[in-house]
Amino acid sequence: MRLTDAELKNRAQWEEKGYRLPQYDREAMKAATKEKPFWIHFGAGNIFRAFQANVVQNMLNAGTLDRGLIVAEGFDYEIIEKMYRPHDDYTLLVTLKADGNVEKTIVGSLAESCILDSEDDAEFSRLREIFEKDSLQMASFTITEKGYSLVNGKGEMLPAVEADFVAGPAKPASYIGKVVSLLYTRYKAGEKPIAMVSMDNCSHNGDKLYAAVSAFAEKWVKNGLVEPGFATYINDKNKVSFPWSMIDKITPRPDASVEEILKNDGIEELESVVTSKNTYVAPFVNAEECEYLVIEDAFPNGRPQLEKGGLMFTERETVDKVEKMKVCTCLNPLHTTLAVFGCLLGYEKISDEMKDAQLRKMVEIIGYEEGLPVVVNPGILDPKEFIDTVLNVRIPNPFMPDTPQRIATDTSQKLAIRFGETIKAYNASKTLDVADLKLIPLVFAGWLRYLMAIDDNGEAFTLSPDPLLDTVCPHVANVKLGEEADVEQILKPVLADKSIFGVDLYEVGLADKVCGYFRELTAGIGAVRATLKKHVG
């Protein structure tokens, strides 16, 4: 059994093994899509294959769509060359359920896979054809937050971008340059409307995409490389929109245990490919069952009824509330709490931490009791139900091979948003008191204890990457487990740093509490567990 058109003609052998197959005429779908494409997606990674492509598959099965998706990959061409096309653009989606069951689906909703390479005339000409079509309603993106940046980490213009600004839209080298070149094709074809929808997991993602696109348009107009009206077109919301969205679905790297399940079914050629750009890609994608995609409803060329596939459309303000609900209260702070204490207590899987009575109770209190009172209910999703799903379905899912060590990456960059916003809301409230926060300060103290790189058994461990390690670690470098130390003096520079916590912990009255917890956490071997028992119960 192989993932190809020829092998899938024998539907019975797949269905006997429990595989869900496309319930539509795939060749007719491909022909209709080529004639009237409505949705092209940039970024051929696992989130696209597990989420957007499956949404369209379900709608094709239900008969609410008769056309499929087109995908374009602009960073790692080998994903298309070595994985998509050899498998006739099929994906094997394995949904890993919290109850231990797996759901196996052959996703065939992709009508065409393209390579965003301006040096390849055939590939780029095909993309230009798609962008000239009246029917095209949206171009969406999962290219990571870094994909929208025109500068490097030092703020210097990327060489490819700099060259593209001078060379113009004929054969750009940079990712965004190629996308804007396609938009210019659409402009020249009659200023046709389109929605440019970032679906990346970053705040106000539509603004990031707009900033990059408009920078190109303005520079090309200024340099006389495109018609003056192009910049006006990009800035006309009735022609080109850049909606905000919030996406949430965990799609880990292809897992060996999942591969084994599929091999036992008799499926061949499942091996992952590691591309020259170090992308891990396999014929199958494993993903959790929960998924959320909330999109600002700003589509100047209309859109299909994707809400029938589970996507949610609303106004920009609501997207913002949903994002803050997730990032500041209902998911990300709970993940960070488990990451910090999981590293200290020697856990290697986040899901296993939910079997730990103290850790489970800790995230329940932080979510329901400390965080929920300041959440603005977005209406489209209920915050309590969201936390219920996070704590009872998503994080405990044993199939999700996520580690506290991975989630602990860049914690110094996360604390201000994941906890600082809650503290600010308490501080501004007439009915809530910052002094009532008991466990958020314990997370701060736990992170400072984590920076010592010594676990609760007294064993050294490796800290996860973080840009501030060289800044913050020296403050705790001389603290020894079980030895007296002037904690207030040691921690003061860190606790007063608003860039880390979002607030000055002295100004909001939490510094003493953090110092007290830190003293308890460093009392000796086993002190982390003892502190959790004392303050969490």
- The string of pLDDT tens digits covering residues 485-521 is 999 999 999 999 999 999 999 999 999 999 999 999 9
pLDDT tier, 83 (very low <50, low <70, confident <90, very high otherwise): very high
How many C-beta neighbours within 10 Å does residue 145 have? 13
3-class secondary structure, 287: strand
- Contact (CB, 8 A) for 23 and 61: yes
Residue 358 has a pLDDT of 97
pLDDT single digits (tens) 442-464: 999 999 999 999 999 999 999 99
User: Which amino acid is present at 30?
Assistant: K
- Contact (CB, 8 A) for 286 and 251: yes
- Contact (CB, 8 A) for 113 and 81: no
Average pLDDT (85-95) is 95
- The answer to whether the Cα torsion of 441, 447, 452, 456 is positive or negative is positive
> Rounded CA gap, 302 and 315, in Å?
15
Residue 341 has a pLDDT of 98
User: Which amino acid is present at 88?
Assistant: D
User: In the predicted model, is pLDDT for residue 280 greater than 90?
Assistant: no
Query: Tell me, what DSSP letter sits at residue 138?
Result: E
β-pairing, 19-20 vs 102-107, is: parallel
Q: Average pLDDT of the chain?
A: 95
In sequence order, what are the residues at sequence separation of 6 or more whose Cβ sits closer than 8 angstroms to the Cβ of residue 404?
338, 339, 340, 341, 342, 343, 347, 348, 349, 350, 353
Residue 155 has a pLDDT of 85
Average pLDDT (239-262) is 90
> Rounded CA gap, 240 and 130, in Å?
16
- Contact (CB, 8 A) for 92 and 105: yes
> Rounded CA gap, 235 and 233, in Å?
5
> Rounded CA gap, 182 and 132, in Å?
9
User: In the predicted model, is pLDDT for residue 271 greater than 90?
Assistant: no
pLDDT tier, 257 (very low <50, low <70, confident <90, very high otherwise): confident
Residue 448 has a pLDDT of 98
Report H helices in 455-510: 469-476, 487-495, 498-501
How many C-beta neighbours within 10 Å does residue 498 have? 12
Residue 255 has a pLDDT of 80
User: In the predicted model, is pLDDT for residue 401 greater than 80?
Assistant: no
pLDDT single digits (tens) 11-23: 999 999 999 999 9
Residue 402 has a pLDDT of 81
β-pairing, 194-198 vs 240-241, is: parallel
Question: 210 φ, ψ to 5°?
Answer: -60, -45
Residue 251 has a pLDDT of 87
Between the alpha carbon of residue 198 and those of residues 67, 463, 502, the distances in Å are 21, 32, 27
Structure tokens that stand for 77 in this block: 């061409």
Average pLDDT (394-402) is 84
Residue 162 has a pLDDT of 96
pLDDT tier, 152 (very low <50, low <70, confident <90, very high otherwise): confident
User: In the predicted model, is pLDDT for residue 332 greater than 80?
Assistant: yes
Sheet with 245-248: strands ordered across = 245-248, 292-296, 312-314
Structure tokens that stand for 379 in this block: 């209406």
DSSP 406-464: HHTTTGGGTHIIIIIHHHHHHHH-SS--GGG--HHHHHHHHHHHHTT-B-TTS-B-PPP
Average pLDDT (148-166) is 92
pLDDT tier, 222 (very low <50, low <70, confident <90, very high otherwise): very high
Structure tokens that stand for 520 in this block: 């308890």
- Contact (CB, 8 A) for 314 and 365: no
User: Which amino acid is present at 426?
Assistant: Y
How many C-beta neighbours within 10 Å does residue 104 have? 19
In sequence order, what are the residues at sequence separation of 6 or more whose Cβ sits closer than 8 angstroms to the Cβ of residue 137?
38, 39, 194, 195, 299, 301, 302, 303, 304
User: In the predicted model, is pLDDT for residue 374 greater than 90?
Assistant: yes
User: Which amino acid is present at 66?
Assistant: D
pLDDT single digits (tens) 431-442: 999 999 999 999
Residue 245 has a pLDDT of 97
Look-up: residue for tokens 């703020």?
155
Between the alpha carbon of residue 505 and those of residues 141, 173, 370, 445, 494, the distances in Å are 38, 46, 17, 12, 9
Residue 399 has a pLDDT of 79
pTM here is 0.88
User: In the predicted model, is pLDDT for residue 400 greater than 80?
Assistant: no
Between the alpha carbon of residue 320 and those of residues 95, 167, 182, 208, the distances in Å are 28, 37, 29, 14
Question: 195 φ, ψ to 5°?
Answer: -100, 130
Residue 366 has a pLDDT of 97
Between 254 and 443, the more confident residue is: 443
- Contact (CB, 8 A) for 72 and 127: yes
Query: Of all residues in the chain, what percent carry a pLDDT higher than 70?
Result: 100
Query: Tell me, what DSSP letter sits at residue 376?
Result: P
User: In the predicted model, is pLDDT for residue 153 greater than 80?
Assistant: no
- Angle (CA) 334-335-336 rounded to 5° is 90
